[in-house]
Amino acid sequence: MIIVSDTSPINNLAAINYLHLLNQLYGTVFIPEAVYRELIDPNFIVAGATEVQTFDWIQTRSISDRTLVKALSNELDIGEAEAIALAIEMKADQVLIDERRGRLVASRLNLSYTGILGILVEAKNKGLIAEVKPLLDALINEAGFWVAEPLYNSVLQLVNEMGLP
């Protein structure tokens, strides 16, 4: 399975110490150079910076089609544009992307995608985590990840955690 990730899933899962879920679910995760640069920017230290430099299951790849990246950059930030371009080049099974515009573009280009909420649901379904709610709350409270209340509730309903305190 070929998985390409944008910055957000790596950064947010690292912020709550659950980056290992990506490895457990997908094995190797590929990131484009722009995502690598966003994560290791010395002027803006973020969660995941050390991990992308040290975990051998996160692999950085160059993009050949700079024209596609340039075209996608008209709509998306460079990390998202390169993640989508890399997913196309590698014929990825899935791109991990959270931002709405990035997901719309991925969909338009017939790419399968999921975001951090889908990753948590999949992790619970595969028995890698016992509950989604504590991780969802940690993402919101510790990582500053924004989730609309209806989406929050529908995710918890999907994993049968609606009645939990």
Residue ranges and CATH numbers for the domains of the chain are 3-116 (3.40.50.1010), 124-158 (no CATH)
> What's the confidence (pLDDT) of residue 131?
94
> What's the confidence (pLDDT) of residue 52?
86
> What's the confidence (pLDDT) of residue 163?
59
Note whether 94 and 112 are within 8 A (CB).
Answer: yes
pTM value surpassing 0.85 = yes
Give 10-residue mean pLDDT values along the chain (165 residues): 94 94 96 92 79 90 93 93 96 94 94 95 95 94 89 92 66
